[in-house]
Homo-oligomer: A and B are copies of this chain.
Amino acid sequence: MARRPSNDTGTRSVSMADVARAAGVSQQTVSRVANGLPNVNEQTRQRVRAAMQELGFRPSYAGRSLRDGRYHSVGLCVNDVTKFGNLSMIDGIASAAREHNCAITLVEMSKTEEFSLAEATRRMAALPVDGIIIGMSRMAPDFETFDPLPGIGTVIVTMYAHPRVTTVDSDHYGCSLLLMDHLFELGHEQIRYIGGPSFSVDEQFRRAGWQDALERKHIEPAEPLEGDWSANSGYEAGRHLAEHDHTMTAIYAANDQMANGAIAALRDSGLRVPEDVSVVGVDDSLDDFVAHNELTTVRFDLHQRGREVFEHAVPEAGTAGKTVAIRIPGQLIVRHTTAAPRA
């Protein structure tokens, strides 16, 4: 079989040599025109351009990458695109990437199966990427033992620090302290916690922050409740608390959706927010979905996180890769679901 240049569609992409032949010039000259180099006669330039147009020439990404060893794309591996945390990660990184004239190569791992860093890295490394970013929203089984591939920048988005890999995340521990301090200042002490699923890394840190804040004030934390981030799960938890805990004065829900559900549950139980119970959430994610959003919450600067992630995954020459752990603080947004407790 004749060597039909590889591409199994049968159509081969137009190369510089093709253009050169069509324009009756050397490949060298085509290169000069393509790259806007000087020393080309205006007439010749026109002729070459016309040939390019005619044939639909576009430089081969593979050839160029092979040549200069860069892909101008950064790999991003997440388990589920639609989760708020992942989405906001993609958004932040996309905008940082755009600033660097870079694309994102997105790989979605199975939404359900377990997820090893080695596996994720292996898949990403087979793609055209100048750096690897892995969103670790749940603890990977091989986190401790994981070694990044040599020769390619790797960043894990997670709160856990790693001795050999740079990790970046919003400060999911600190946000709890911000909220708890706010509640303490108002005079609250009996602060219940509605968390996300316990396998979630974000959950683990938000919860730890809540617990530590209480213990630092020598308050015994009451049993935390576990939701699944959804408003309905927040509702269930809120309902349960309204019925069984008559000493609580505040609820800290680990995200805004659950907080929103909890508020609905409290009101359905005849409790007023914030007069009877204060409620806080995290993420500042309700605005599009809820009219007159009044929830006190913490907002993260997701674009800053995106930039940090990107720039550590694809370091500029000089920013040689020292392993660091970056935690980007959130900002307390006080609205109207928090007030001083009943006297």
The answer to whether B87 touches A81 (Cβ under 8 A) is yes
The answer to whether A286 touches B287 (Cβ under 8 A) is no
Q: Is A37 an interface residue (CB 8 A)?
A: no
CA distance A88 to B234 in the complex (A): 24
Contacts of A151 in B (CB 8 A): 11, 13-14, 56
Q: Count A-side interface residues using an 8 Å CB cutoff.
A: 71
Given A73-B128, A128-B65, A260-B291: A8 touches B106 (CB 8 Å cut-off):
no
Tell me the smallest distance from the CB of A266 to a CB of chain B, in Å. 11
Contacts of A128 in B (CB 8 A): 61-62, 65, 71, 73, 128
Contacts of A291 in B (CB 8 A): 231-232, 234-235, 260-261, 264-265
Q: Is A90 an interface residue (CB 8 A)?
A: yes
Contacts of A60 in B (CB 8 A): 66
A31-65 interface code vs B (CB 8 A; 1 in, 0 out): 00000000000000000000000001011111101
The answer to whether A260 touches B290 (Cβ under 8 A) is yes
Task: Considering the complex, give the chain B residue whose CB is closest to the CB of A315.
Answer: B9
The answer to whether A290 touches B66 (Cβ under 8 A) is no
Contacts of A290 in B (CB 8 A): 231, 260-261, 289-290
Chain A, 71-130, CB within 8 A of any chain B CB: 71-73, 75, 81-82, 87-88, 90-91, 94-95, 97-98, 103-108, 110, 125-128
- The 4 A-B pairs of least Cβ separation, nearest first, read A7-B69, A235-B291, A62-B66, A261-B291
Name 7 extra pairs, CB < 8 A, besides A71-B128, A82-B88, A231-B291: A7-B69, A8-B69, A61-B65, A81-B94, A230-B287, A231-B288, A231-B293
